[in-house]
Chain A
Amino acid sequence: MGSSTIPIRAVTDRSPAFEYFSTKKDELVGWARKFSLFPYPFVTACCAMEFMAVSSSPYDTDRFGAALPRFSPRQSDLLMVVGTLTHKQAPILLKVYEQMCEPKWVMAFGACATSGGFYQNYAAVAGIDKIIPVDVYVPGCPPRPETVIDAIMQLQDRIARSHHPILTDRF
């Protein structure tokens, strides 16, 4: 992430205080959104242990504004699918995803959510991207907390760089 995407630039000719700043609307909204990720943990399997580790104080995803899990899909904007998805659970995941309001992002947390992992059988869905679109994949079985933090940062970069449909000519 280069310095050009840092949206707020103070113009400090006469005093160190903000007098005005210039930015792009997309960058401003993206900057606000990327530090306000409310995850919905769709936790199905052993990766949950790693999710607990990454969201508690030693690794502290609160630094990225992504600490507070919302257990209602309506209040969240990052769907973290943590663990194996079975065919029996696939309708539930789809319903949760559809209930989330835009803007929303999806993280496939761990090998099973990414590709089915070592499950190649009648029960497991070989990757949640067969059911719902995925924004960021986290490898590992389970992933190291650093990997998850890296994924959150990649997602933040992506949010910061993207166009936000909320912005129209009149806003």
Chain B
Amino acid sequence: MSPVIHIFKREFSAYMVSPVAYIVISVFLIITGWFFFTPFFLQNQASLRNFFSLLPLVFSFVVPAITMRLLSEEFSVGSYETLLTLPVTFTDVVLGKFLAATGFTAVMLAPTLLYPLTVAVLGSLDWGPVLGGYIGALLLGAAFSAIGLLASSLTRNQIVAFIVGTGICFSLCLIDKMLFFLPRSLLGFFEYLGADFHFQNIAKGILDTRDILYFISVGFFGLYGANLAMQEKC
């Protein structure tokens, strides 16, 4: 398993030295900061519900932007060949890159911890939903990273990888808002597919195994798909 750690380290430091990463972080903080604090003082409530309700939509744009280069860049530069002729397996590569993207999402999320701290100063904050929200955000970030990695494994073009990744993540976010189009018998199934639905459950502070299982299965689906796509290339 040790190649996973080294691939993770390399990918993670590649994020930290690239300017794109800081641009993505800045954009993320500006968007969430603006949409969180604008209505915050009007509503006069000490909660982070606004922040968390928006997070899945923002993540579905930002996370694919983080993951788009993971494999596409290797394909187009050709370093994929050097990587795979080192003694590593497909699983090592997929896991290492996935962990790096998830880790970077966590780094991106870290500055937003200032929001609950600010809110706690201004009023009495219920820390349960905040904790749940951050656990949910990490799970969501991991699941979307896996989807983004899958998108990146399909093409050598980073833009295409970004659009495909965003498309899938965005659909997962919106699917439970489209339920009124569907016959009653399918409601439960499509509601279960919605990432936003599961995320909002966790963000209420309720840690249900069904919701956690959902994110794990989406993550597994993405990673397994990326693995298959890589095997298909050789």
The finding on whether chains A and B are genuine partners in a shared complex, rather than unrelated, reads no
